[in-house]
Amino acid sequence: MSLTIEEIKNRIKQVSLSHEDIESFDFGESFDVANFKNATYPMCFLELPYLLTYLDDRRFKTIQLAINFLGRGDFEKDREYTNEVISNMELIGDAVITKLEQEYTDFKFDSVNAVSLRDFSDDSLSGVRYEVIIRTQRAFCTKRSYNSKFTK
C-alpha cells in the first residue's frame, strides 16, 4: 500500500501525541517560537521540506524528513539540566521511532540518524533532531494504476 506525505505526517503526529510525555505537535519549514506561541513542551516538531526519492524499479519511494523532539533547557544557565533535557528527548524520540516501526508494516525506516540540539531558537529549547528515511510503496507505478486518472 502506498502512503502519502500527509498520511505519514498524521502517523507521526498520532504516535508522538500518544506518548505520555509529549504535550504538543506541529510542523513547518523552520521552528520559530514566534510562530508557535501555543506550543507546550516537550513537543514534537516535523520539519519541512520533505525529500522524495523514487527508487530504481519505480515501485517504491523514500521520504527523507526531520523530526525534532524539543524540551526547555537553557544551556547558558544550567549545562547539566540542558544535557538531561537532551537525554530525555532522545528517550522519547527513540520510543516514538520504535512504536512507528512496530505499529505500521506498510513503511519502514531505511535510516535513522540523530543530532542533539541545545539553545535551539530564542526559547532556550534543547532536544534531538532525528533525520529519517522512510521507504514505502509508490502510488500509480504501473500503467494500469494511473490510466484512469487521464481523460485525453
Element (H, E) at 79: helix 79-103
What gap in Å lies between CA 117 and CA 129, rounded to an integer? 7
Three-state secondary structure call for residue 22:
coil
How high is the pLDDT of residue 36? 59
Residue 149 lies in a domain: no
Q: Are 101 and 133 in contact (CB under 8 A)?
A: no
Q: What percent of the chain has pLDDT over 90?
A: 51
Q: Are 140 and 149 in contact (CB under 8 A)?
A: yes
Residue 152 lies in a domain: no
pLDDT band at 146 (very low <50, low <70, confident <90, very high): confident
pLDDT band at 72 (very low <50, low <70, confident <90, very high): confident
Q: Are 34 and 28 in contact (CB under 8 A)?
A: no
Query: How many independent structural domains does the chain possess?
Result: 1
Residue 73 lies in a domain: yes
| Mean pLDDT confidence for 53-66 | 88
What gap in Å lies between CA 8 and CA 4, rounded to an integer? 6
Contacts of 99 (CB under 8 A, 6+ apart): 15, 18, 19
Residue 148 lies in a domain: no
Tell me what the pLDDT averaged over the chain comes to: 85
Tell whether the model's pLDDT for residue 79 goes beyond 90.
Answer: no
Residue 15 lies in a domain: yes
Question: Which of 32, 9, 31, 13 lies closest to 22 in space, CA to CA?
Answer: 13
| Mean pLDDT confidence for 22-30 | 88
Residue 126 lies in a domain: yes
Q: Are 8 and 63 in contact (CB under 8 A)?
A: yes
- 11: cell is 502517523
pLDDT band at 95 (very low <50, low <70, confident <90, very high): very high
Tell whether the model's pLDDT for residue 106 goes beyond 80.
Answer: yes
Instruction: Name which residue leads in pLDDT, 132 or 150.
Output: 132
| Mean pLDDT confidence for 35-42 | 75
Residue 54 lies in a domain: yes
Tell whether the model's pLDDT for residue 34 goes beyond 60.
Answer: no
The pTM assigned to this predicted structure is 0.86
What gap in Å lies between CA 33 and CA 39, rounded to an integer? 8
How high is the pLDDT of residue 6? 93
CATH code, domain carrying 56: 3.30.2000.30
Element (H, E) at 87: helix 79-103
Instruction: Name which residue leads in pLDDT, 122 or 28.
Output: 28
Element (H, E) at 144: helix 143-146
Q: Print the domain residue range for 85.
A: 5-143
Q: Which residue carries 531505511 as its cell?
A: 110
